Amino acid sequence: MKTVHYLEYRTKSTLKLINCAKGKMTSIFLELPSKSDLNFLDVNSIQNFNSFNRFQFSQTSSKYLKSREKDIFNLIESGYKVVNEKMYNHLANLRKTQLN
């Protein structure tokens, strides 16, 4: 668990990404509108994603409830997958540009 830095959970209409830093977790949550053509289960469907205009978006940070490793283990047990930083960083950078 010490080597896990990013987690991801997908449904057809939601995408949750977590940065598992040393002292806290930072989560990005995207939800599609009900009449969207995108499908978050298709990884390639969001390759050209470049705007939050049609989506519900939130970002939160929190301290670990138990310990970093126990919390990561519990998230993996609940269906999150270990991923690299690529999608998390893309969405975090996109959010920064749209907030300016």
Amino acid found at 95: R
CB–CB of 24/64 below 8 Å?
Answer: yes
Q: How many CB atoms lie within 10 A of CB 97?
A: 9
Q: Is the pLDDT of residue 65 over 70?
A: yes
Q: Is the pLDDT of residue 91 over 60?
A: yes
Q: Is the pLDDT of residue 80 over 70?
A: yes
Per-residue model confidence (pLDDT) at position 9: 97
Q: Is the pLDDT of residue 48 over 90?
A: no
**C-alpha span between 24 and 43 (Å, rounded):** 27
Tell me which range, 36-40, 73-77, 89-93, is most confidently predicted by mean pLDDT: 73-77
